[in-house]
Amino acid sequence: MKRYDLIIVGAGPAGLSAAIEAAKKGLHVVVFDENLRPGGQLFKQIHKFFGSKEHQAKVRGFNIGKKLLAEATQLGVEVQLNATVTGMYLDKEVIVKKGDEIFHFKGDAIIVATGASENSVPFKGWTLPGVIGAGAAQTMMNLHGIKPGKKILMLGSGNVGLVVSFQLLQAGCDVVAIVDAAPHIGGYGVHAAKVARCGVPFYLSHTIQSVSGDEKVEKVVIGAVDSSFTLIPETEKTFTVDTICVAVGLSPMSQLFKMAGCKMDDNPKKGGQVPVCNEWGETSIKGIFAAGDVAGIEEASSAMIEGKMAGVCASEYLGYCSSAEQAKDLENMAKDLDSLRQGMFAIKNRGKKIETTMEGIPISTNLLKKGFLSDADIKRFSPTKKIAGVHPVIECTQNIPCNPCQDACVRHCIKIGKDITALPVVDTTKTCMGCGLCVAACSGQAIFLVNEDFSSDYALITLPYEFLPLPQKGEKGKATTRSGEILCDAEVISVKTSKAYDHTALLTMKVPLAMSEKARFFKKVKSYA
């Protein structure tokens, strides 16, 4: 039986961050992961992350994964893949299945960062081939390069449902609808808005009534539900689809803790059964720690900080750092974590009815029901004053912890301030030079450059564009509204790509001047062979 100072189960954002922190303090660390590739869910996350610089904001998830893995390896962390921890016992002993053999290991401390599994929801026909988890769809697309289907209905409007819907569109699938039994969209408004402007309709207070097909999914019937989630008769709508993606939440995979005898708690706010932990992730058994989704469903950004905390605590527990050093580290990490746990979507605000932003502006209900901002919302959130020349227009209307736009602008045109959940404000006293860095930096794709002084009849709109093949300069297509409706003719003036934009192309289109406040997406009409 081999012994390590620290055994970490799970090489996702929490596990790798914990490994890095512990290895820095001199611990001999091994990380086991049942998957062929490390990084957990990070390697499927092709979108840019929210947060601030400290939280790796505007970096795409898979690049964060690469960075963590490189750092861990450099620090001498042993990452064992295809190694499934199948049991955890008294005295911190684990058994690991590798290939066709079982191995025993003992850790002086153990951090379990096994993450979560997808929830399912049963409806008539849910066992038909073609009904898959949204996470499964993401794995197929982003890791294996396989389209999960051609015509897809998404069940669930949380961030997973919204982000995966956008990625399905990027992969060239047709997303026919996003359906949620809840009366409001669960995920970030900016994620909803980028799907809505591609023309995907939202059906809130709706659920799947049945899915049918001979041998696989061919048809889905949805219906409206009342406030007690009971189907309302004669509200059925039918869609022809070949795939149903289910994104109805996650459950912590916490069985190892239970097996080892840790005190457990069934907490619906945390997604299900979680180990009872102190604020740094230590369980009821000294030297066993939890980090990431397994301790309560949150996000990769917070999982990384929780991992770091557990790594530091394991180091202190084994005497690799003083408690004074630990306290100092934890204080900084707690600050980082706290700044992520703010805003309208913070756990502490879950279930609360929020009516205004922290700035006191009434929130957009259209965004919560339909996925896009109404014209009235735009008037409320954007300054009415006309700005001459090219300038940013920011359609970010919810308080979420994110501020890369502020850092992106070298002219300091965009202000958020110290509190990163505050809404960005355009400083009209500064002059925009139209570099577009803010457009590319916005993880929510909610910043546009508008130039209403291009000519007497036309305006230019620059928008973030992440679909391939990229339209060509001079190409004629259609401009669409925020809801994806075709608005008018549009001509591509330029398509800029740059390393600094990190694969977000900046598409500038020319639209009639009167449309400058409405045109927010470019729809191709030319067919590509």
34 binds another protein (CB under 8 A): yes
Task: Give the dihedral sign, CA 7/61/316/288.
Answer: negative
Nearer to another protein, 84 or 382 (CB): 84
User: Which stretch of DSSP H or E encloses residue 339?
Assistant: helix 323-340
Contact 37, 143 (CB under 8 A): yes
184 binds another protein (CB under 8 A): no
266 binds another protein (CB under 8 A): yes
Question: Of the candidates 235, 273, 284, 431, which one interacts with another protein according to CB under 8 A?
Answer: 273
CB of 218 to another protein, least distance (A): 19
286 binds another protein (CB under 8 A): no
216 binds another protein (CB under 8 A): no
CB of 346 to another protein, least distance (A): 22
CB of 121 to another protein, least distance (A): 8
CB of 205 to another protein, least distance (A): 20
Question: Of the candidates 3, 258, 286, 411, which one interacts with another protein according to CB under 8 A?
Answer: 258
Q: How many residues bind another protein (CB under 8 A)?
A: 34
User: Rounded distance, CA 78 to CA 3, Å?
Assistant: 13
Contact 47, 162 (CB under 8 A): no
CB of 137 to another protein, least distance (A): 16
Which residue bears the tokens 């501020």?
403
Nearer to another protein, 259 or 425 (CB): 259
Site string for another protein, 103-122 (x = CB under 8 A): xx------------x-xxxx
411 binds another protein (CB under 8 A): no
The number of CA neighbours under 13 Å toward the Cβ of 77 is 32
Question: Of the candidates 3, 53, 124, 184, which one interacts with another protein according to CB under 8 A?
Answer: 124
Binding segment for another protein among 20-28, 123-131, 373-381, 450-458 (CB under 8 A)?
123-131
455 binds another protein (CB under 8 A): no
87 binds another protein (CB under 8 A): yes
Instruction: Give 310's DSSP letter.
Output: H
Binding segment for another protein among 187-195, 252-260, 354-362, 406-414 (CB under 8 A)?
252-260
85 binds another protein (CB under 8 A): yes
User: Rounded distance, CA 173 to CA 444, Å?
Assistant: 21
Cis peptide before 362 (omega within 30 of 0): no
User: Rounded distance, CA 376 to CA 191, Å?
Assistant: 20
Pairing of strands 83-89, 521-523: unpaired
234 binds another protein (CB under 8 A): no
83 binds another protein (CB under 8 A): no
User: Rounded distance, CA 139 to CA 45, Å?
Assistant: 9
Residues 215-223: contacts with CB under 8 Å, at least 24 apart: 215/128, 215/129, 216/128, 216/129, 216/130, 216/242, 217/125, 217/128, 217/129, 217/130, 217/131, 217/241, 217/242, 217/243, 217/244, 218/242, 220/153, 220/244, 222/153, 222/177, 222/179
CB of 95 to another protein, least distance (A): 6
Binding segment for another protein among 50-58, 253-261, 334-342, 448-456 (CB under 8 A)?
253-261
CB of 117 to another protein, least distance (A): 6
Amino acid identity for residue 416 in this structure: I
Nearer to another protein, 251 or 406 (CB): 251
Nearer to another protein, 121 or 470 (CB): 121
Angle, CA of 454, 458 and 461, to the nearest 5°: 75
Nearer to another protein, 103 or 467 (CB): 103
**369 CB neighbour count, 10 Å cutoff:** 16
1 binds another protein (CB under 8 A): yes
Going from the C-alpha of 124 to that of each of 74, 118, 121, 217, 221, the distances in angstroms are: 51, 19, 10, 11, 10
Question: Of the candidates 12, 107, 272, 471, which one interacts with another protein according to CB under 8 A?
Answer: 272
Question: Of the candidates 36, 90, 91, 100, which one interacts with another protein according to CB under 8 A?
Answer: 100
The backbone torsions φ and ψ at residue 416, rounded to the nearest 5 degrees and listed phi first, read -120, -40
Strand ordering across the sheet containing 476-480 = 390-394, 447-451, 458-465, 505-512, 486-496, 476-480, 521-523
Binding segment for another protein among 96-104, 218-226, 414-422, 470-478 (CB under 8 A)?
96-104
Nearer to another protein, 97 or 147 (CB): 97
User: Rounded distance, CA 210 to CA 221, Å?
Assistant: 5
Nearer to another protein, 293 or 316 (CB): 293
User: Rounded distance, CA 225 to CA 154, Å?
Assistant: 17
Question: Of the candidates 75, 81, 95, 140, which one interacts with another protein according to CB under 8 A?
Answer: 95
Nearer to another protein, 1 or 324 (CB): 1
215 binds another protein (CB under 8 A): no
State the greatest distance between any 2 C-alpha atoms of the chain, in Å, as a whole number.
Answer: 79
86 binds another protein (CB under 8 A): yes
Nearer to another protein, 268 or 360 (CB): 268
Coil/strand/helix, residue 101: strand
Contact 241, 152 (CB under 8 A): yes
97 binds another protein (CB under 8 A): yes
**225 bridge partner residues:** 231
201 binds another protein (CB under 8 A): no
Which tokens is 526 given?
């030319």
Contacting residues toward another protein, per CB under 8 A: 1, 34, 84-89, 95, 97, 100-104, 117, 119-124, 126-127, 251, 255-256, 258-259, 266-268, 272-273
